[in-house]
Amino acid sequence: MDIERARFNMVEQQIRPWNVLDQDVLDLMSAVPREGFVPMELAAMAFVDMEVPLTVSGKHTGEVMLAPKVEARLLQELHVKRHESVLEIGTGSGYMAALLAHRTRHVDTLEILPELARFASENLARAGISNVTVRQSDGSRDHEALPMYDVIVLSGSVPEVPESLLARLNPGGRLAAIVGRLPVMKAEVITRGASGAFSHERLFETVTRPLRGFKARETFTF
């Protein structure tokens, strides 16, 4: 496989046509070696327009990498700045954390599965990325003990974004998530204004695997 041709085609035929026009994001998708974050036996799928199953030592984890165009679009819409702090929930292979690390001061990323936390840490170290901290942790509840962040990314879907997670956003902070249940999910960015109020911007429809532990609030009927 001609890796550089495959990378070029990923950017020009998948990502750019999906309304990703920020040249910095396009350059980043070209520069960060996606093939270094894909399971070795699935390396040929690194640049395919699909979610890549994540296996570790030949074992299926049940988790996936988001499709390249989805990662690029979320990154574009978050407008991450160099001085900002970032929290990611759902580390997976570490690729999204690697992208974020190139645009910001520091990334904390939480992964519930120990084998994926190790896999991501190894991938990030191999790529020479030192401003990411991978924590083996249940992001659905452990985020409440974390500090405040400027940007939060959920690398998976949730039925709804918990208020406790929104409370971790600094004023002016943004959170990106894929929200809903099959068959209807929508990617959105939620921004916390200076007054503390939240605004929602819906971006596109997509579907992906749910993040473990996140549940919808219980409703009562009479």
Mean pLDDT, rounded, for 123-139: 97
**3-205 has which CATH code?**
3.40.50.150
Percent of the chain with pLDDT over 70: 97
Inform me whether the pLDDT recorded for 134 exceeds 90. yes
Inform me whether the pLDDT recorded for 222 exceeds 70. no
Inform me whether the pLDDT recorded for 221 exceeds 60. no
Inform me whether the pLDDT recorded for 50 exceeds 80. yes
Work out the pLDDT band at 219, boundaries 50, 70, 90: low
Inform me whether the pLDDT recorded for 220 exceeds 60. no
Inform me whether the pLDDT recorded for 145 exceeds 70. yes
Predicted pLDDT of residue 38: 96
Pairing of strands 59-65, 132-136: unpaired
Mean pLDDT, rounded, for 120-126: 98
As given in the structure block, the two tokens for residue 10 are: 């990923």
Report helix, strand or coil for 85: strand
Predicted pLDDT of residue 64: 97
Contacts for 83 with CB less than 8 Å, ≥ 6 apart: 104, 105
Q: Are 209 and 187 in contact (CB under 8 A)?
A: no
Q: Which residue has the tokens 């901290």?
A: 133
Work out the pLDDT band at 70, boundaries 50, 70, 90: very high
Mean pLDDT, rounded, for 145-160: 97
Mean pLDDT, rounded, for 198-204: 97
pTM of the model: 0.95
| DSSP one-letter code for 161 | -
Buried b or exposed e, range 128-160, using 16+ CB within 10 angstroms: ebeebebebbebbeebeebeebbbbbbbbbbee
Mean pLDDT, rounded, for 16-38: 97
Predicted pLDDT of residue 218: 60
Predicted pLDDT of residue 144: 87
Inform me whether the pLDDT recorded for 159 exceeds 80. yes
Inform me whether the pLDDT recorded for 1 exceeds 90. no
CA distance 66 to 64: 6
Mean per-residue pLDDT of the chain:
95
Mean pLDDT, rounded, for 47-51: 97
Contacts for 222 with CB less than 8 Å, ≥ 6 apart: none
